[in-house]
Amino acid sequence: MKKKIININKKNDINNFYHLLWLYKIIYRRRELVIKYHTKISKDKKKEFEEIIHAFNIKDKNERLEYVYFTMVDNVNADLQKNNYCEFDENGTCIFNRAKHTKWKSCCRKCPYLGEHGCTENNFACKYFFCYYIRTHKKIPNYSRIRLFRYYLTPTQKFICTDNFWTPTKEILFYLKNNHFLSYITHAKKFNE
């Protein structure tokens, strides 16, 4: 496979690359992108940029979609573990339940995939969601700013990623690969039976 070398001479070159990514997807779709750094970049930006390049270099559509989805979930999991927005204690009780709210229960109360140490599934929608109490009392990140989410998913796939609560990973990937809104709605019954 032919290679296209991308030189990063200054920090602004990365932003220019993101603006032209849609064009690179058309022009260099049969080539492998290789990065050459000629300037210092923070570890976080470099990691994010290399994730984008790695996704670009995966030519099989289903493989790329799986890579994008699992990388997004891993990034969100790392952020949640680092910041602990819900402030889970040793018993698995979140700050919302400790505040003695009687109208609502916690987000994960009915989830069949909730284990002793948290979620046992890689579900982006569940990790992306914060209850009203957390949103009003804490500063939370906007995960739609994840570049893989912005650049590699169609609007339908973005909707599916953020709407599938309490759903196993296998089912979410099935919907994402179909990439059709009506298919998402009509096939939901297949997995619920």
Side chain identity at residue 174, one-letter code: F
Q: Positive or negative CA dihedral for 89, 142, 128, 131?
A: positive
pLDDT of res. 67: 96
Q: How far is CA 39 from CA 26, 36, 48, 62, in A?
A: 27, 9, 16, 34
pTM of the model: 0.85
Pairing state of beta strands 3-8 and 32-37? Answer: parallel
102 pLDDT more than 70: no
Q: What tokens appear for 186 in the block? A: 């009509």
pLDDT of res. 74: 92
Place of tokens 């952020």: 79
Q: What percent of the chain has pLDDT over 70?
A: 85
> 19 pLDDT band (50/70/90 cuts)?
very high
181 pLDDT more than 80: no
Average pLDDT value for the chain: 83
How many helices (H) and strands (E) would you count in the chain? 11, 4
